[in-house]
């Protein structure tokens, strides 16, 4: 993984280059808000946007990119198949719909959003078909634990290129990171800032002060030094720029360990083994 500047990329297990820092757009409102956020991000040098059909803003993502002046092929776009759309045929239809919303003819990375029990292997077969047809440059999964990953690997032809999971100083899951590294699956973090939770942790405030950076910058840098691709979300121009300004300092090994030690196995989102009720009740 190359983390010298915002153009840094990591080579996925199929040879595709994935930018190490992207903009997340969960809860960025469809229309002006998501379009403006992406335009700020592209101006700051980001070339990676993470959306999902569930976020209901794929149309704005497409519009922002088309009107930005940056060529489509220079931007890495991720979207995801939602739980209600899982199964082979349903996933193929959901993908067509995402492309239509984005108004694009391919995406760079297509992910299974959550491991819907009894369905995710069929869903994966649909992703393999899309990949083999060249309609997606890489395929992966999200919210998959080690046992889900083993299930996919043992029952299919393509090893996921990426796993996108909740990851921040309160949820490190080092054995899962090690498993992914060993199996050449790129780890990617969602909610790297713990949806604001990191700003309340004193150790992080002290370390940020030591490096003369903000807590957000410290944590984004910690992600990258751990070999994790990261997609912090903001709809504010100054924060989007701040979150990209992480390439002029290095966290020492000792301080990396201090941050790792904040792990409490604490989640902001659902547990991947028990999420179906979470979404039914929300
Ligand atoms: N695969 C999945 O299941 C899944 C689940 C959740 C998220 N994701 C992806 O991961 C992305 C990031 O996760 P997230 O959106 O949940 O949370 P996050 O990036 O950890 O935190 C976002 C929150 O932090 C604030 N923020 C951002 N930069 C800041 C800064 N420099 N200073 C102070 N506050 C700052 C944002 O506010 P403002 O926007 O108001 O600036 C927002 O409230 C999502 O957008 C989405 O693309 C994926």
pLDDT tens per residue, range 52-97: 999 999 999 999 999 999 999 999 999 999 999 999 999 999 999 9
For residue 74, how far is its CA from the centre of ligand 1 (angstroms)? 23
CA–CA gap between residue 227 and residue 244 (Å, rounded): 16
Write a three-state SS string for the chain.
CCCCCCCCEEECCCCCEEECECEECCCCCCCHHHHHHHHHHHHHCCCEEECCHHHCCHHHHHHHHHCCCCCHHHCEEEEEECHHHCCHHHHHHHHHHHHHHHCCCCEEEEEECCCCCCCHHHHHHHHHHHHHCCCEEEEEEECCCHHHHHHHHHCCCCCCCEEEEECECCECCHHHHHHHHHCCCEEEEECCCHHHHHHHCHHHHHHHHHHCCCHHHHHHHHHHHCCCEECCECCCHHHHHHHHCCCCCCCCHHHHHHHHCCCCCCCCCCECCECHHHHHCC
Mean pLDDT confidence for 109-117: 98
CA neighbor of 79 nearest in space, from 154, 68, 65: 65
Q: Which of 55, 110, 120, 131 is catalytic?
A: 55
pTM of the model as a whole: 0.98
Residue nearest to atom 29 of ligand 1 (CA): 239
For residue 38, how far is its CA from the centre of ligand 1 (angstroms)? 14
For residue 277, how far is its CA from the centre of ligand 1 (angstroms)? 23
- Condensed to tens digits (0 to 9), the pLDDT of residues 224-244 reads 999 999 999 999 999 999 999
Write a three-state SS string for 133-200.
CCCEEEEEEECCCHHHHHHHHHCCCCCCCEEEEECECCECCHHHHHHHHHCCCEEEEECCCHHHHHHH
Instruction: Report the atom number in ligand 1 closest to the C-alpha of 194.
Output: 20
Percent above pLDDT 90 for the chain: 97
Mean pLDDT confidence for 94-117: 98
- Which of 221, 234, 246 to mutate for ligand 1's pocket (most ligand atoms within 8 Å of CB)? 234
Residue nearest to atom 48 of ligand 1 (CA): 190
Assess whether pLDDT exceeds 70 at residue 282.
Answer: no
pLDDT confidence bin for 37, thresholds 50/70/90: very high
CATH superfamily for 9-280 is NADP-dependent oxidoreductase domain (3.20.20.100)
Assess whether pLDDT exceeds 60 at residue 200.
Answer: yes
Residues with CB under 6 A from ligand 1: 24-26, 50, 113, 142-143, 164, 190-196, 214, 216, 231-236, 239, 242-243, 269
CA–CA gap between residue 38 and residue 41 (Å, rounded): 5
- Which of 232, 240, 275 to mutate for ligand 1's pocket (most ligand atoms within 8 Å of CB)? 232
- Which of 26, 198, 245 to mutate for ligand 1's pocket (most ligand atoms within 8 Å of CB)? 26
88 is catalytic: no
Mean pLDDT confidence for 12-38: 98
pLDDT at residue 38, as a whole number: 98
Assess whether pLDDT exceeds 90 at residue 8.
Answer: yes
């Amino acid at each position: 993984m190359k983390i010298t500047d915002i153009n840094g990329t990591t080579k996925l297990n199929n040879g595709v280059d994935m930018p190490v820092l992207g903009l997340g757009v969960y809860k960025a409102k469809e229309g002006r808000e998501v379009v403006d956020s992406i335009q700020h991000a592209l101006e700051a040098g980001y070339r990676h946007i993470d959306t999902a059909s569930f976020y209901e803003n794929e149309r704005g993502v497409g519009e922002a990119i088309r009107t930005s002046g940056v060529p489509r092929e220079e931007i890495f776009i991720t979207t995801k198949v939602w739980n209600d759309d899982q199964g082979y045929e349903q996933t193929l239809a959901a993908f067509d719909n995402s492309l239509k919303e984005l108004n694009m003819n391919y995406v760079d990375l297509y992910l299974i959003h959550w491991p819907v029990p009894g369905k995710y292997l069929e869903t994966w077969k649909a992703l393999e078909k899309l990949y083999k047809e060249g309609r997606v440059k890489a395929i992966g999964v999200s919210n998959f634990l080690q046992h889900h990953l083993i299930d996919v690997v043992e029952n299919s032809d393509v090893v996921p290129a990426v796993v996108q999971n909740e990851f921040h100083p309160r949820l490190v899951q080092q054995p899962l990171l090690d498993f992914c590294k060993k199996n050449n699956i790129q780890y990617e973090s969602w909610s790297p800032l713990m949806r604001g939770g990191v700003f309340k942790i004193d150790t992080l405030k002290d370390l940020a002060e030591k490096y003369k950076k903000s807590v957000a910058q410290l944590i984004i840098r910690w992600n990258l030094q751990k070999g994790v691709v990261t997609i912090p979300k903001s709809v504010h121009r100054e924060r989007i720029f701040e979150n990209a300004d992480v390439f002029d300092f290095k966290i020492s090994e000792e301080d990396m360990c201090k941050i790792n030690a904040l792990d409490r196995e604490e989640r902001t989102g659902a547990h991947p083994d028990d999420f179906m009720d979470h979404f039914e009740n929300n």
